[in-house]
Amino acid sequence: MSVDTPRRIVLLRHAKAEWSQESDHKRPLAERGRKEAPVAGRKLADSGTDFDLALCSTAVRTRETWKLAVHEFPHRPRTVYEERLYDASLGDLIAVFNETPDEVRNLLVIGHNPGMHAAVDALSGSAAGEELARVARDGFPTAAYGVVEFSGAWKSLGHGAGRLVEYWTPND
């Protein structure tokens, strides 16, 4: 696959989690989250994007979100549970994205805020329609996702390299 191949990175925030006495890493999904995750999965499946790889934080709430969302997909992509996605800064996230093999055309990342919001904002040099304004106005609620398209090698993905082509929240 050429490094000039158009690529997609979809940044999905985990669904609504419970507040519990457990450590933050072990917090499970709340009932609302167990309803949101399959809806997000169905919406992603309906987009027709065939994901080559999914990177998922190791936190309980992200793993549960992924398990419920991927059930809606026609084909399950290869999944890697990546510890560095938990509590990751924007720089940490971009470093992980830059390690993606160039054979991957479409990447799905299941992670946390503020990182998912920051990544969508930072990677999007432009946007389709009012998508960036919507992200700025609405924030990045649980189970929301942004789709950023770019061309080039994954190692070149950085600030302003892409175009935000879709932003979806469960309230849409």
Q: Tell me the binding residues.
A: 61
Q: Which residue type is seen at 124?
A: S
Q: Which residues make Cβ contacts (< 8 Å) with residue 41, sequence separation at least 6?
A: 68, 69, 70, 71, 72, 73
- CB-neighbour burial class of residue 152 (10 A; exposed 0-12, middle 13-18, buried 19+): middle
Tokens of 84: 């560095």
Q: Are strands 106-111 and 6-13 parallel, antiparallel or unpaired?
A: parallel
Binding-site residue ranges for substrate: 61
